Structure 1
Amino acid sequence: MPNAAAPAEAFDAAAEFDRQVRTLVDLGYAGLSGRTPEDFRAALAPLRDQAVAAVAEGRAAPDTAAGRIPFVLVLTRAVAPVEETMPRTTLHGGRLPGFVDRSFEPGSLERFVAVKEAAEPAPDAYLLLDTERGEEFCGAVPREAMEVIAGRDRTLLTIEEGIALVTHFPQVLVKNKCFSLGGSRCGDRRVPAIWISKKAPKLGWCWEGNPHTWLGMASAGARRAAA
């Protein structure tokens, strides 16, 4: 009788959380937060158990090809300003730093804040759960895509969360599968988005009524703070 196929290796959520913390330390986030690397790790440690619990609830291992990630460690802009974090992103295998597009006029980036439905559950750091890149919405009108996502009881990603996603999983940002970040708005028709420009990640924006074949709409299942 042939041997039964070996079960797939279990996803080690604790190791993945540690990897994400290590990524932030290596990119200088401890200094951005005004902490030493040791204090920075200690401040994030309470979220480790939440990451393990999230995976125990049935969330699958990361599938970067499909743009689906079980959890992403997010730092708020109070801890790490967008102007400092976006240049710390790169494309997978790339070296050029990400950047904020000049279409954000001076002072405008600060006005793009989380909508009520995408409110941060903690003032400094939290986990974003069940993240999807949302390429099914490539070519869709952003406003209509946001309505569909709301109907699924999912939440739109904010600018900070989009940057965190690319920081920890640069593989998800690929040609023709970039994404809008409808969770951050400033009261007008602009919707932030991250796409590829000049061989690097770029934070820009598009009009809520204008579809783009290469821009989907990123979403998540929930946000979770430390217990």
Structure 2
Amino acid sequence: MTSDVTAEFDRQVANLVDRGYPALAGLDEEGFRALVGPLRSAARSGAPDPDAGRVPFLLVVTRKVVPIEETMPRTTLHRGRLPGFVDHSFEPGSLERFAATVDLPAPDAYLLFDVERGEEFCGVVPNDAMETIAGRERTPLTIEEGIALVTHFPEVLVKNKCFSVGGSRCGDRRVPAIWISKRAPKLGWCWQGNPHTWLGVASAGARGA
């Protein structure tokens, strides 16, 4: 592993520590670092290009460790101050029903590799976009993975280049998505058959623990 990869992994860990993840997980800083530290050896090299919406790996902490209702408010836009939020269109308790439809390598924390924001799918019906992604042997992001992308690389979330996270579904026609509202990141949803010119579909190459 190169020093650049190690430095990027450590930056992402420190980012979560700075945003209060240890306390939210019911751990002290040492305990939190012990939870995610073993993943360092699995990190992959590559130069992040958040402006282009591509990063080589993300450290993802699941809702089992910190609830979505707590992680989303710890996102901001690049150079922004307003906290992200969960849209009121999620009825009480519905976030728990938006479960991962993909296989996760670990229940608590893992790495997501070869991540793309997916703006090529802006204006494409989400169902059609996810079919294309599957045909490329890639995977749509879960809600937690989308939050991790904005948390570690807020530059990725920009006007007209927001993204759906179709790896979390609840069995109906809703597809979760993260976009900009009121000058802050917002977790909402759109219909699986409705295209939006400003909303693509994020995807990744693999997951690992």
TM-score band by shorter chain is: over 0.9
1:158 equivalent in alignment to 2:142: yes
Aligned with 1:98 (options 77, 80, 84): 84
**Displacement of 1:43 after TM fit?**
1.6
- Confirm or deny that 1:171 pairs with 2:173: no
Deviations 1:104-126 (A, max 9, x none): 011111100000xx221101100
Instruction: Give structure 2 stretches of 5+ with no counterpart.
Output: none
Deviations, residues 41-88 of structure 1 (Å, cap 9, x unaligned): 12211100111xx22xxxx21001110000000001000100000000
Aligned with residue 122 of structure 1, among 81, 98, 106: 106
CA distance in 2, matches of 1:190, 1:34: 32
Aligned to 1:13: 5
1:38 to 30, 49, 63: 30
Letter in 1 for 2:150: V
- Report matched runs for 1:136-215 at 5 Å: 136-215=120-199
* CA-based RMSD: 0.9
Moved over 4 A (4+): none
Unaligned runs of 5+ in 1: 1-9
Query: Does the 8 A contact of 1:11 with 1:61 survive in 2?
Result: no
Letter in 2 for 1:64: P
CA distance in 1, matches of 2:62, 2:198: 27
Equivalence for 1:63: 49
Distance 1:39 1:111 in 2: 29
Please identify the structure whose Cα radius of gyration is greater.
1
SS at match of 1:196: strand
For 2:180, what is the secondary structure of its paired residue? strand
2:42 aligned partner, one-letter code: Q
Number of equivalences = 208
Q: Would the aligned equivalents of 1:156 and 1:183 in 2 still touch at CA under 8 Å?
A: yes
TM-score by length of 1: 0.90
Give the fraction of aligned pairs with identical amino acids, expressed as a percent. 75
TM-score when normalising by structure 2: 0.98
| Counterpart code for 1:110 | E
For 1:28 and 1:164, how far apart are their aligned partners in 2?
14
Q: Secondary structure of 1:47's partner? A: helix
Distance 1:88 1:152, change over 3 A: same
